[in-house]
Structure 1
């Protein structure tokens, strides 16, 4: 059990440490560069943003018409542009781990919707998807804003820097959608699509749950920094001690 805990804790630690934040190298590049660096950062941030990419993959998974893809992606884009721009301009902030935890839930939601979960398991019609995608876009945009606000943005030329980052995000999104769209278009022509589409969305939901755990774990490190050091050896000993104490409490309360 302790070995499993060790492996799982290290997996969460590795994923948390490599989460798509703003690295020191990115910060240095921004300080030395100009608006083009913000555009580049926005594109790479979206392309490395596995939570955003998983959600987009879920959105277009069953969409076969180009106009439908454009409609839903436009709703998502409008939503994340609104919060990205205005939350950054107004300096509205929140713990980015908690925001990313909510974003992970949007991945789970879309996978659940793709599995027809509302009708099968709750007995209701699926909520309006276009509205849901727009609302989730607002959440994703707030997540992007919290990351952008890690940079020393300043006030002079702030709007242009935000817009440059936003344009970069859209460029990255277009690239990602093109790749995902081509992959799905090819896959739909094969019998395996019907055979494994359910399994793919189950995996999508599992990925969303893993991201949720990862972000909540990261939040513990920021909220209780002294109790959860980011050193792997110390991190393992913390979890090992937690397991030992839990075992002792169980033994003491057992009849």
Structure 2
């Protein structure tokens, strides 16, 4: 319950924790089309600055506000190219957000870096090798799942619902296989669905699990009880489309699409396993510190079901209104 209170949406606050986004798209050997998007903080752009390599000449125009964040677009001229230069997000060290940097050394060759308050800049390598791509996209996958509150709550509900660690392992494995399939299909353009309905169905999948959690074990759907992996596989197909939406925004290196897909999906799984491990560890610690909790397991699970269902129902309504 405390976890849900932390994860619940907060109304009336700024978007200061939203990530920044810097994109440099290659136009030719010396010019790059720059998109710089920063979070809104109390009606103004967050005071962070995109600093390109010193050899680049650029004049950022004023920001425009789109209702969520502030964006500026311009052309940067870098006679010596980007390789070997430094990209720094000035002021990022004083924030609690991060910035995704997506850039091309040459047209179509996308590379990605994630900068944080602890690491506000990096030196652009001459060309990303397989190890660089693997490291970058695994990190992006871990970050995405750990910041994807709806996906985490779905996994949390599975942990509460499925009895027995072996059965839970099979359910999580089915969820993994399913979202790997649709993630690859959507990221490669084979499967293309608009994001708003996908996000609404993801929230609806959480409502389904929450409903089951709120019921006494003897009244739960016998099919879901006997074959939880079928349920998790079915909903995993939808969640994979949600992961793909994030991956499309990041972009894929055209020369190493299979490796980037594998690395991103591996990162998602690592983040998911870390989350489950934390849930188990916290649960074990609570039961050890407060043994009386074991006597109220059903009531706690039912309460969690109502809390998760209320939050997910809010998401369903909110996302349907976006249609």
Is TM-score (shorter-chain normalized) higher than 0.5? yes
Greater RCO (Cα-Cα under 8 Å, separation 6 or more): 1
Considering fraction of residues, name the structure with more strand: 2
Output one character per residue of 1:20-52: Cα deviation in whole Å (capped at 9) or x when no partner: x99542243716574122111100100111111
Match of 1:204 in 2: 308
CA–CA distance in structure 2, aligned partners of residues 155 and 169 of structure 1: 21
Unaligned runs of 5+ in 2: 1-9, 23-98, 103-110, 114-123
- Which protein has the larger Cα radius of gyration, Structure 1 or Structure 2? 2
Match of 1:26 in 2: 100
Number of corresponding residues: 207
Out of 57-66 and 107-116, give the one that drifted further.
57-66
More moved, 181-190 vs 161-170: 181-190
Give 1:14 shift. Answer: 6.4
Alignment partner of 1:108 is 2:212: no
Q: Aligned partners of 1:198, 1:73: CA distance in 2, in Å? A: 22
For 1:23 and 1:97, the matched residues in 2 are separated by 21
Aligned: 1:141 with 2:240: yes
The answer to whether the aligner puts 1:168 opposite 2:267 as a matched pair is yes
Q: Distance in 1 between matches of 2:159 and 2:221?
A: 22
Question: Counterpart in 2 of 1:80?
Answer: 179
CA contact (8 A) 1:118 1:126 kept: no
Unaligned runs of 5+ in 1: 1-9, 221-255
Aligned pairs for 1:1-255 within 5 A: 11=11, 23-24=21-22, 25-28=99-102, 30=112, 34-35=132-133, 36-116=135-215, 125-127=222-224, 128-187=227-286, 189=291, 190=293, 191-217=295-321, 219-220=322-323
How many angstroms does 1:153 deviate by?
A: 2.0
The 3-state SS of whatever aligns with 2:137 is: helix
- 8 Å CA contact 1:113–1:126 kept in 2: the answer is no
- Equivalent residues of 1:22, 1:150 under 8 A apart: no
Q: Structure 1 residues 132 and 124 mapped into 2: Cα distance closer, same or farther (>3 Å)?
A: closer
Q: Post-superposition shift, 1:97?
A: 2.6
* Whole-angstrom distance in 2 between the partners of 1:104 and 1:209: 7
Give the number of the structure whose residues are more often helix, by fraction.
1
Q: Which secondary structure does the structure 2 equivalent of 1:61 belong to?
A: helix
Q: For residue 235 of structure 1, what is the aligned residue in structure 2? A: none
- Is residue 88–residue 149 contact of structure 1 (8 Å, CA) maintained in 2? yes
Whether contact under 8 Å (1:89, 1:159) holds in the other structure is no
Check conservation: 1:54, 1:204, Cα contact below 8 A. yes
The change in CA–CA distance for 1:47 and 1:204 in structure 2 (over 3 A counts) is: same
1:123-174 CA distances to partner (integer Å, 9 max, x unpaired)?
9745443211101011111110121011232421111111111111011111
TM-score, length-scaled by structure 1: 0.69
What root-mean-square deviation, in Å, do the aligned CA atoms of Structure 1 and Structure 2 show? 3.2
